[in-house]
Structure formats: structure tokens, C-alpha cells
């Protein structure tokens, strides 16, 4: 008889364990999630000697660097527009790397319209020899009776050819080069 009770107890135990297994809440299975790779944050110094932006802010002062290319067959050989905020310009440079067979006389000034004749001469009578190459620089000054350097938003600054020679015609030049100007924003 002991076998009957042992067999019956085994069957009852199997049924109880089976019912517990069926009615027990399912166990949560943790599936590993894949996160997208974190992008590396760039901090610190630049990777080379060239700053890829046209501005640089140091100590809260933003300096803007503008560059213009030469136009041919025009008395306005290079035009630069100041930033869209009030600024002061510190320096303007005209670089000529391709001359013509005539002497060139250049002026620098501001204008109310973009590519137009300079209406307010800031500096003039820069002379380049026939076939010559050269760099002309105008430094701004806030000293009385010197070059004034405040630039309203979107002001135009032009380098113009004012004469091919002493009595020459000033149209049709094919000088090559560029101009650039530095502005400090006033905020």
C-alpha cells in the first residue's frame, strides 16, 4: 500500500507544480538594448592653424574677418560689406597679385551702395607701378582728424582705381587679387 500512496502523492505533487507553473506570472526577460553611438564632442584647440569661421570671439569681443575678390573692368575693384551690427573696422588691406601695363592709383572709402564709386574717401593715392604687385594697408584710428572707424550695419567699403596714369582713363582694368577687412562688433 505504500506504493499506492507514494504514487498518488507523486501525481498530486506533479499536478500542483504544473498548476503553479501555468498560473504563475511570466518572468520578465531583459533584452539588451543597443544605444546609438555617442558623437564625440569637440572641445579644446583647433586641429590646425586655420580657423574655419569668418569670426573669432575672445573675452566677449567678436572680431569679424571679411574678404572680397577683384572685379575686372570696373573702377571699383573690390567691395566689402560690414557685419549686420554696428562695428568698428580696424584694418583694410588691398592685395594686388596681377598688375597691368599701366600705373594704378587706388583709393579706399565707404559708399552708400554696394559696388559703386566710393562716396566718402578714407585714404587715397596708393600708387602701383606698371606691371607691379603690391599690398596696401589702411589702419583705422580714433584720434581726432584721423581715419574714423565706426561702421553702421551693412556699410559698404570699396577699393577703387582712380587713374591708370597721370592723365589716364580709369576704366577697363584687369588687376587681380583680393581685399580683406577686419571688424570688431559693438554690442
What is the pLDDT tens value at each position of the chain, 187 positions in all? 566 667 777 777 777 776 676 666 666 777 666 666 666 665 666 777 788 888 888 888 899 999 988 876 677 888 898 898 888 888 999 998 876 767 788 888 888 776 665 568 888 888 888 777 888 888 876 565 555 678 888 888 988 887 654 444 444 566 788 899 999 987 7
pLDDT (0 to 100) of residue 151: 84
- Those residues with Cβ within 8 angstroms of residue 171's Cβ, 6 or more apart along the chain or in another chain: 73, 74, 75
Domain-located, residue 1: no
Provide the sign of the torsion angle of the four alpha carbons 119, 124, 129, 132, taken in this order: negative
pLDDT (0 to 100) of residue 182: 92
Closest CA to 96 of 123, 130, 143: 130
Domain-located, residue 59: no
Max intra-chain CA distance, the chain: 138
Domain-located, residue 83: yes
Domain-located, residue 180: yes
Q: Are 107 and 125 in contact (CB under 8 A)?
A: yes
Domain-located, residue 163: yes
Backbone angles phi, psi at 120, to 5 degrees: -125, 105
> Whole-model pTM?
0.64
Q: Is 41 helix (H, G, I), strand (E, B) or coil?
A: coil
Domain-located, residue 53: no
Q: CA 140, 144, 145 angle in degrees (round to 5)?
A: 80
Domain-located, residue 142: yes
User: What's the number of domains the chain is made of?
Assistant: 1
Could you tell me the three cell numbers for 158? 570699396
pLDDT (0 to 100) of residue 110: 87
Domain-located, residue 25: no
For residues 8 and 20, give the distance between their C-alpha atoms in angstroms, rounded to a whole number: 18
CATH number assigned to the domain comprising residue 106:
2.60.120
- Domain enclosing residue 90, as ranges: 67-185
Amino acid at each position: 500500500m505504500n506504493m499506492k500512496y507514494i504514487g498518488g502523492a507523486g501525481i498530486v505533487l506533479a499536478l500542483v507544480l504544473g498548476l503553479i507553473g501555468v498560473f504563475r506570472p511570466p518572468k520578465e526577460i531583459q533584452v539588451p538594448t543597443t544605444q546609438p553611438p555617442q558623437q564625440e564632442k569637440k572641445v579644446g584647440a583647433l586641429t590646425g592653424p586655420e580657423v574655419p569661421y569668418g569670426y573669432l570671439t575672445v573675452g566677449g569681443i567678436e572680431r569679424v574677418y571679411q574678404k572680397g575678390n577683384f572685379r575686372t573692368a570696373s573702377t571699383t575693384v573690390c567691395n566689402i560689406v560690414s557685419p549686420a551690427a554696428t562695428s568698428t573696422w580696424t584694418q583694410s588691406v588691398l592685395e594686388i597679385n596681377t598688375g597691368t601695363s599701366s600705373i594704378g592709383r587706388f583709393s579706399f572709402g565707404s559708399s552708400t551702395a554696394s559696388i559703386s564709386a566710393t562716396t566718402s574717401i578714407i585714404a587715397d593715392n596708393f600708387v602701383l607701378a606698371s606691371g607691379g604687385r603690391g599690398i596696401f594697408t589702411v589702419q583705422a584710428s580714433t584720434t581726432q582728424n584721423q581715419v574714423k572707424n565706426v561702421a553702421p550695419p551693412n556699410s559698404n567699403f570699396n577699393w577703387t582705381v582712380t587713374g591708370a596714369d597721370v592723365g589716364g582713363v580709369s576704366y577697363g582694368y584687369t588687376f587681380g587679387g583680393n581685399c580683406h577687412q577686419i571688424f570688431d562688433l559693438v554690442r
